[in-house]
Amino acid sequence: MLSKNIKTLRKSKGLSQDELAVKLNVVRQTISKWENGLSVPDSEMLISLSDVFETPVSILLGEDIAETEANDLKVISEKLEVLNLQLAKQKESKKNILRYVFIFILVISFIILFILSTINSPYLNWNYTHPETAFMGISFHIFEWVFIRIAPILIVGAILGIYLMRRNKSR
């Protein structure tokens, strides 16, 4: 009875297995197992199911429920609620990724600056009569010259980005 009641109530609310799974914080396969009678929800999940279906637990566990047509406005609002939750989670994960990118840029910039200051431009003493050596020396010099000019912008931008991400998170 429980498996049939879960399926009937889910359909009457106009929810797919995926949507119900999101509301209950479980995977879709769990909903499928419940509806096919392969497993049963624990007591806490029964309470969560009763909240989602707006039905007492006793009815979930009781006799078969007759299928009813879903209220269109209620179904749409519940689907919008699920979509809003998904979009909020997606937005938060994008913010976290962006914050880690700023941290990565900051760390890499400092590492490269440390390496460049430590090696102290050894290519300046190379013999530039050989084409390969000349090419490598010029390449190192161009990289060092460009990086030293761009590094302050990268560092300030990364620090500002990290600060703004942290400030937005506290709101």
What integer pLDDT is reported at residue 98 of this predicted model? Answer: 93
Q: Which residues contact 159 (CB under 8 A, 6 or more apart)?
A: 106
pLDDT for the residue 12: 85
Architecture of domain 2-70: Orthogonal Bundle (1.10)
The pLDDT of residue 69: 53
158: left (phi over 0), alpha (psi -120 to 50) or beta: alpha
- State the pLDDT at residue 84: 87
pLDDT at residue 82 in the model: 85
**pLDDT reported for residue 58:** 79
Specify whether the CB–CB gap between 58 and 65 falls below 8 A: no
Mean per-residue pLDDT pooled into runs of 10, the chain (171 residues) = 85 88 90 88 85 83 60 75 88 91 95 91 86 91 94 94 78 56
Predicted local distance difference test score (pLDDT) of residue 56: 84
In this structure, what token pair is assigned to residue 149? 């000019």
Domain ranges in the chain are: 2-70, 90-170
Alpha-carbon distance 53 to 6, whole Å?
9
Helix (H, G, I), strand (E, B) or coil at 128: coil
The confidence score (pLDDT) of residue 169 equals 61
Taking a C-beta distance cutoff of 8 angstroms, is the pair 5, 59 a contact? yes
At residue 64, the pLDDT reads 54
